[in-house]
């Protein structure tokens, strides 16, 4: 009968896997995780038991949907009411505006009538002024006549003459009466002549008052008309200006939108992020002159700003990242500082609409002898034997499996070193990490190291608990131990999926593959296959017949035969591509691993490759990188050694000697520190920057390289990776078994008396796989030579867990039944050690020779 997984059944019921597992536990149905499979009988029981729950949940969902529809209808009605209110308010505002405009026009008409009325009043006042002038002249004439006849006539004649003189004036004043409009308070001329105090001067004052009133009225009317005209002109101008402003803003918005579209098209054409187009790209440690050229500004402007910041620099001095950002911000420019890792990498931008699902890329990690290789072999065997799981074929650097029509790519990285090296180069090629832990062994040091590497890379972890078929297997103990490192199973409320497998019995393999697919579904992995290809170099080698051969993993785009690409400092045109079966193919899409031919040189593992449209662009970029690498090699820091210590002291290039001390016990470290403290440090200061118990690791070499230090070891040996890194970084490692020998060497180097000495050269190493007890001979170690070539005359050192426990010489060396003089790497042999019988499985036998090396300084 067909089985159904818990996760599939939970999806069918519309609930989470954890909730369904709780119901299964209540019904006492065995199910450990979301990937557990249920029998058909159990499935029928679950459907029957959970029918009421599902019906209630369905009713809740329908009620919630109905409430949501009602809420949406209410919201739509509210929006419609708001729109209606806004429309009514807009119509009301328009009506008020029209009323105001009509009122302004109505007020403008009486203003002109008022002006004409006042103009007629001015004409009447002018006539009144003429009358007043004639009256004044008549009064002056009368006075003159009265003065001339005053001496001849007396009494009644004087009064008669006085009474007859004004008659004509009174008659004219009465006949010519001015027409004053209604509402004007103007005194009558008849009344003005009555009384003793109203005479000619007062009438003149009244005339001036009337004239002033008329002028003020005319000015008031004119100003009011002008103000209303100005207001009308301003209103019309404002409306015209508002329309022009809106049209201008619309044009600016359209131009900005057009620029953004062009910018996006250019970014898509170049395959970069649109935000990076406007930023000026400079390298770390850029000089003032280079920054000025990049920003296209005079160098003096940058020097002036640096001086104001309190950090004066010359044209050829390097600038820190903070200074570069401050100067660019002060100049109003956007800048991006490129790290050395980013210089050899590419940035791409893909439209989300172009992204399509891609297969996951998986890396298998774990402790030594926990079954990583066996698990991969079981996966390959499963794929070959069962067509349902798909064809799984081992290929150089990668394995690919197809299960239920979906592909999974397994990256075969040689241990954690390649994983770390790729991550250090910025290559995040792994989507999921499968952590293999033995159920009978539990969490070990390399298990913890794998967890730390995965977390640092931000990659989800799927735990495969291997060797569950052994009698002493305890998968629950493995789960409990991993919780201490933040790896918590889903059934315990965590985020990590656990699968119990047995690589030897080939059980749980399908569950593991389906769990990986579930994790990939959660990640929603997508890539753009319709663009120029890019990806990473998994591994590369030099084949005698085919030339440089590189195994690449395509991360985006489609790689085709004939494409021109660059990878690190290598470039070329793809002449041929081989798939996982070794068959030629014409193209490879995202998450496909293929072997390519046609590169100019062998690239490094982890290098990023990219396809260029023109082969000349690829060649120019590779040549620029090669030139820069040669310059960096020439300018590389020359680390101090004991042989060069005195010469560098003499040239005043060294003021202190830094040491990294590793020993088998803490007492040796304290003894060395006391002895060095008693030395004369007037010429050179000796500093122990780090000391610890244990073997010499990569971290020690990295610290020594950064601090220009020498590594001193007592009774401990460097690990293989640490030794390779020391050779790469030119860091000197000196190992001693006697403390005063180290003190003598350091003191002799300090005073310049270090003479040619004997130097130890490691010839090879072998790992003890089994031990045999031979009568009258002793313990014989069955070994596999893992490095170099071991000779019978070599000295040997027994190293257990990084600590030297014995040093001597070989007593015997055999292959099968024959005595041999040497054994090369990759061959098995039997080795006996003189005067030492305590050999155990897992010990490392290091063979070495002591040779004399003359000084070159």
> If the chain, 857 residues long, is cut into consecutive pieces of 10 residues, what is the mean pLDDT of each piece?
75 80 81 78 80 81 84 85 83 79 61 46 64 78 70 49 43 42 43 44 56 71 71 66 74 80 63 61 82 87 86 83 86 77 60 84 82 79 40 51 83 53 56 89 82 82 89 88 88 88 86 89 88 86 85 90 90 89 87 90 83 87 82 62 59 67 80 77 75 86 84 86 86 84 77 61 91 87 92 91 89 89 91 90 91 58
Q: What sign has the CA pseudo-torsion 836, 837, 843, 847?
A: positive
Euclidean distance between CA atoms 588 and 584, whole angstroms: 11
Euclidean distance between CA atoms 619 and 155, whole angstroms: 142
pLDDT for the residue 117: 46
pLDDT for the residue 210: 65
Q: Give how far Cα 577 sits from Cα of 295, 599, 605, Å.
A: 43, 12, 18
Query: Max Cα separation, the chain?
Result: 193
Location of structure tokens 């493995």? 478
What 3-state DSSP class applies to 469? coil
Q: Which residues pair with 765 in a beta bridge?
A: 787, 846
Name residues whose C-beta falls within 8 Å of residue 434's C-beta, 6 or more positions apart in sequence: 362, 363, 364, 365, 375, 461, 462, 463, 464, 512, 516
Contact 494, 480 (CB under 8 A): no
Report pTM: 0.45
Euclidean distance between CA atoms 532 and 555, whole angstroms: 11
Q: What are the φ and ψ backbone dihedral angles of 841, each rounded to 5 degrees? A: -65, 135
Euclidean distance between CA atoms 277 and 272, whole angstroms: 8
Q: What is the CA radius of gyration of the chain?
A: 51
Q: Give how far Cα 357 sits from Cα of 390, 406, 425, 594, 627, Å.
A: 20, 11, 26, 19, 39
Euclidean distance between CA atoms 194 and 210, whole angstroms: 20
What 3-state DSSP class applies to 589? coil
Within 10 angstroms of residue 811's Cβ, the number of other Cβ atoms is: 16
Q: Which residues pair with 554 in a beta bridge?
A: 535
Euclidean distance between CA atoms 604 and 342, whole angstroms: 16
Element (H, E) at 799: strand 795-800
Contact 782, 823 (CB under 8 A): no
Among residues 224, 424, 279, which one has the least CA distance to residue 340? 424
Euclidean distance between CA atoms 567 and 603, whole angstroms: 6
pLDDT for the residue 425: 45
What 3-state DSSP class applies to 634? helix
Among residues 545, 544, 547, 573, which one has the least CA distance to residue 559? 573
Euclidean distance between CA atoms 645 and 308, whole angstroms: 41
Contact 22, 33 (CB under 8 A): no
Among residues 671, 713, 661, which one has the least CA distance to residue 692? 661
Indicate the DSSP class of residue 470. Answer: S
Contact 135, 203 (CB under 8 A): yes
Bridge pairing between strands 570-578 and 818-819:
unpaired
The CA-to-CA distance between both ends of the chain, in Å, stands at 82
Indicate the DSSP class of residue 492. Answer: G
Among residues 575, 574, 564, which one has the least CA distance to residue 618? 564
Question: In terms of C-beta distances under 8 Å and separation of at least 24 residues, what long-range contacts does 735-739 make, across chains too?
Answer: 735/760, 736/712, 737/804, 737/807, 739/668, 739/671, 739/672, 739/675, 739/714
Euclidean distance between CA atoms 368 and 856, whole angstroms: 43
């Amino acid at each position: 009968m067909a089985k159904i997984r818990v996760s599939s059944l939970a999806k069918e019921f519309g609930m989470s896997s954890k909730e369904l597992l709780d119901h299964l536990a209540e019904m006492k149905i065995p199910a450990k995780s979301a990937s557990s499979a249920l029998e058909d009988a159990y499935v029928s029981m679950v459907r029957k038991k959970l029918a009421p729950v599902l019906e209630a949940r369905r009713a809740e969902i329908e009620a919630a949907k109905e409430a949501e529809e009602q809420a949406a209808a209410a919201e739509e009605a509210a929006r419609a009411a708001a729109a209606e209110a806004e429309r009514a308010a807009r119509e009301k505002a328009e009506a008020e505006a029209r009323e105001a405009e009509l009122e302004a026009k109505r007020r403008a008409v009486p203003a002109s009538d008022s002006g004409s009325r006042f103009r007629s009043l001015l004409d009447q006042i002018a006539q009144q002024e003429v009358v007043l002038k004639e009256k004044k002249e008549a009064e002056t004439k009368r006075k003159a006549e009265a003065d001339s006849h005053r001496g001849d006539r007396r009494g009644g004649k004087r009064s008669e003459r006085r009474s007859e003189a004004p008659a004509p004036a009174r008659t004219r004043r009465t006949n010519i009466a001015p027409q004053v409009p209604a509402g004007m308070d103007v005194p009558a001329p008849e009344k003005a002549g009555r009384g003793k105090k109203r005479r000619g001067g007062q009438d003149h004052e009244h005339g001036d008052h009337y004239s002033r009133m008329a002028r003020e009225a005319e000015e008031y009317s004119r100003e009011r008309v002008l103000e209303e005209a100005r207001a009308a002109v301003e209103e019309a101008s404002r409306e015209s200006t508002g329309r022009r402003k809106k049209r201008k803003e619309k044009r600016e918005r359209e131009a900005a939108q057009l620029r953004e579209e062009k910018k996006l098209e250019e970014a898509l054409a170049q395959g970069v992020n649109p935000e990076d187009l406007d930023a000026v790209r400079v390298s770390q440690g850029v000089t003032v002159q280079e920054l000025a050229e990049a920003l296209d500004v005079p160098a003096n402007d940058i020097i002036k700003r640096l001086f104001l910041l309190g950090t004066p620099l010359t044209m050829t001095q390097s600038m820190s990242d903070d200074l570069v950002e401050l100067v660019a911000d002060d100049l109003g420019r956007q800048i991006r500082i490129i790290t050395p890792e980013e210089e050899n990498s590419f940035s791409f931008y893909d439209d989300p609409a172009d992204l399509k699902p891609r297969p996951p890329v998986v890396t298998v990690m774990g402790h030594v002898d926990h079954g990583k290789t066996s698990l991969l072999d079981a996966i390959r065997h499963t794929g070959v034997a069962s067509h349902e799981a798909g064809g799984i074929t081992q290929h150089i650097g990668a394995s690919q499996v197809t299960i239920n029509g979906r592909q999974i790519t397994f990256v075969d990285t040689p241990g954690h070193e390649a994983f770390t090296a790729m991550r250090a180069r910025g290559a995040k090629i792994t989507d999921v990490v499968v952590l293999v832990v033995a159920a009978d062994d539990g969490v070990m040091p390399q298990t913890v190291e794998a967890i730390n590497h995965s977390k640092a890379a931000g990659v989800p972890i799927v735990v495969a608990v291997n060797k569950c078929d052994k009698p002493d297997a305890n998968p629950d103990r493995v789960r409990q131990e991993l919780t201490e490192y933040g790896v918590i199973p889903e059934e315990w409320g965590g985020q990590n999926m656990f699968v119990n497998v047995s690589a030897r019995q080939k059980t749980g393999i399908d569950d593991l593959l389906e769990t990986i697919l579930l994790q990939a579904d959660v990640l929603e992995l997508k890539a753009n296959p319709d663009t120029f290809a890019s990806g990473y170099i998994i591994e590369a080698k030099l084949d005698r017949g085919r030339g440089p051969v590189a195994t690449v993993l395509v991360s985006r785009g489609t790689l085709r035969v004939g494409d021109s690409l660059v990878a690190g400092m290598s470039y070329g045109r793809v002449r041929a591509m081989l798939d996982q079966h070794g068959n030629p193919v014409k193209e490879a899409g995202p998450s496909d691993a293929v072997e390519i031919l046609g590169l100019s040189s062998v690239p490094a593992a982890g290098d990023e490759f990219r396809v260029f449209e023109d082969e000349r662009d690829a060649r120019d970029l590779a040549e620029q990188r090669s030139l820069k690498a040669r310059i960096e090699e020439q300018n590389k820091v020359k680390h101090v050694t004991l042989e060069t210590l005195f010469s560098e002291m003499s040239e005043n290039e060294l003021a202190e000697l830094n040491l990294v001390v590793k020993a088998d016990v803490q007492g040796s470290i304290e003894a060395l520190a006391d002895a060095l403290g008693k030395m004369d440090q007037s010429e050179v200061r000796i500093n122990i920057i780090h000391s610890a118990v244990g073997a010499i690791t990569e971290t020690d070499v990295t610290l020594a390289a950064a601090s220009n230090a020498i590594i001193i070891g007592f009774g401990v040996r460097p690990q293989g990776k640490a030794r390779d890194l020391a050779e790469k970084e030119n860091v000197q490692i000196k190992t001693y078994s006697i403390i005063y020998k180290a003190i003598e060497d350091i003191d002799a180097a300090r005073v310049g008396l270090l003479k040619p000495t004997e130097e130890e050269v490691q010839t090879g190493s072998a790992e003890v796989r089994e031990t045999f007890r031979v009568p009258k001979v002793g313990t014989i170690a069955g070994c596999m030579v893992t490095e170099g070539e071991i000779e019978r005359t070599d000295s040997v050192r027994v190293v257990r867990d990084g600590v030297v426990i014995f040093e001597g010489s070989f007593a015997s060396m055999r292959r099968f039944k024959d005595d041999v003089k040497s054994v090369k790497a990759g061959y098995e042999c039997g080795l006996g050690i003189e005067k030492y019988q305590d050999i155990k499985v897992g010990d490392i036998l290091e063979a070495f020779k002591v040779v004399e090396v003359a000084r070159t300084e």
